[in-house]
């Protein structure tokens, strides 16, 4: 088991099911914790630590964790009390490599909704939107990928997660309608510094409010601790 294998598993899963940005951030945080623990079959973590690290409420954490469980990405066992840490473990998504019959059975019994069924069919007069995979692959081929990774000290997994957040938000707003791959890559290059600056400001406010319960940052959450970003217009 390693981080790249688990990241690939997440990508396969989100092609079939809708996963929120929060649930994906939680998954990467759990991957980071497992890595620090030396990749055990099971590892422990408290709700309080995850909520503080990801800057979310416990209700949001529970909903995000349920998405991962329904997507067969993690197994979870709650502690007997609030003082006992919960157990987590990563699952192998067997149904992606099973026979067609097995896949059909798995799709019928899956609790999570089928993302492909939820997507609306494109209207005849609506401009096409570039796919997430095509947009990400194109951006990775540009020099801006290296510039952002070096400037903000990001690894491949963290950069891809930020690109997903950018893509989902822009698609929901219709900002990518009719945009080319070049347009999408350029928009992300200017969007990321603003997004990180906003996240840093929000996190600073939360830290002041919770100075008595500060937790170490890991994974994607660590990428939010940057200095102020100066934008190029």
pTM for the structure as a whole: 0.43
pLDDT for residue 226: 46
> For residue 44, what are the β-bridge partners?
87
Q: Which DSSP state fits 181?
A: H
Percent helix, percent strand, percent coil in the chain, to nearest 5: 60, 5, 35
Query: Between the CA of residue 213 and those of 22, 48, 60, what are the distances in Å?
Result: 21, 9, 19
Token digits of residue 206: 């939360």
pLDDT for residue 26: 93
The torsion of the CA quartet 25, 26, 28, 32, rounded to 10 degrees, works out to 130
Query: What residue ranges do the domains of the chain occupy?
Result: 1-119, 120-233
Helix (H, G, I), strand (E, B) or coil at 188: helix
Query: Between the CA of residue 161 and those of 20, 39, 43, 132, 202, what are the distances in Å?
Result: 11, 21, 23, 12, 19
Q: Report the distance separating Cα 70 and Cα 113, nearest Å.
A: 9
Contacts of 91 (CB under 8 A, 6+ apart): 72, 73, 74, 75
Token digits of residue 135: 């947009």
Token digits of residue 5: 């294998």
pLDDT for residue 73: 92
Instruction: Give φ, ψ of 215 to 5 degrees.
Output: -115, 150
Instruction: Give φ, ψ of 113 to 5 degrees.
Output: -70, 150
Residue 90: which H helix or E strand, with range?
strand 86-90
Helix (H, G, I), strand (E, B) or coil at 192: helix
Mean pLDDT split into 10-residue runs, the chain, 233 residues: 83 86 92 90 89 91 92 86 80 50 42 52 60 91 92 90 89 85 92 87 67 56 48 45
- CA 79 to the chain's CA centroid: 25
pLDDT for residue 97: 43
pLDDT for residue 210: 61
Q: Report the distance separating Cα 198 and Cα 46, nearest Å.
A: 27
Q: Report the distance separating Cα 133 and Cα 15, nearest Å.
A: 10
- Matching CATH number, 1-119, of 3.90.850.10, 1.20.1200.10, 1.10.10.10, 1.10.533.10: 1.10.10.10
End-to-end Cα, the chain, rounded Å: 43
């Amino acid at each position: 088991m390693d981080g790249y294998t688990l990241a690939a598993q997440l990508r396969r899963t989100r092609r079939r099911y809708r996963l929120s940005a929060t649930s994906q951030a939680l998954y990467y945080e759990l991957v980071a914790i497992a890595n620090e623990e030396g990749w055990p079959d099971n590892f422990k973590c408290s709700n309080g630590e995850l909520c503080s690290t990801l800057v979310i409420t416990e209700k949001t954490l529970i909903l995000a964790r349920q998405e991962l469980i329904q997507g067969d990405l993690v197994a979870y066992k709650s502690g007997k009390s609030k003082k006992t840490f919960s157990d987590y473990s990563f699952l192998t998504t067997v149904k992606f490599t099973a026979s067609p019959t097995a896949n059909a059975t798995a799709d019928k019994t899956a609790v999570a909704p089928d993302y492909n069924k939820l997507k609306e069919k494109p209207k005849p007069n609506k401009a096409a939107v570039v796919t997430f995979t095509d947009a990400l692959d194109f951006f990775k081929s540009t020099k801006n990928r290296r510039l952002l990774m070096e400037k903000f000290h990001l690894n491949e997994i963290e950069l891809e997660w930020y690109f997903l957040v950018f893509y989902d938000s822009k698609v929901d707003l219709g900002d990518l309608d009719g945009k080319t791959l070049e347009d999408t890559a350029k928009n992300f290059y200017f969007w990321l510094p603003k997004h990180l600056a906003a996240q840093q400001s929000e996190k600073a406010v939360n830290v002041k409010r919770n100075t008595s319960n500060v937790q170490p940052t890991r994974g994607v959450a660590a990428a939010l601790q940057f200095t102020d970003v100066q934008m190029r217009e």
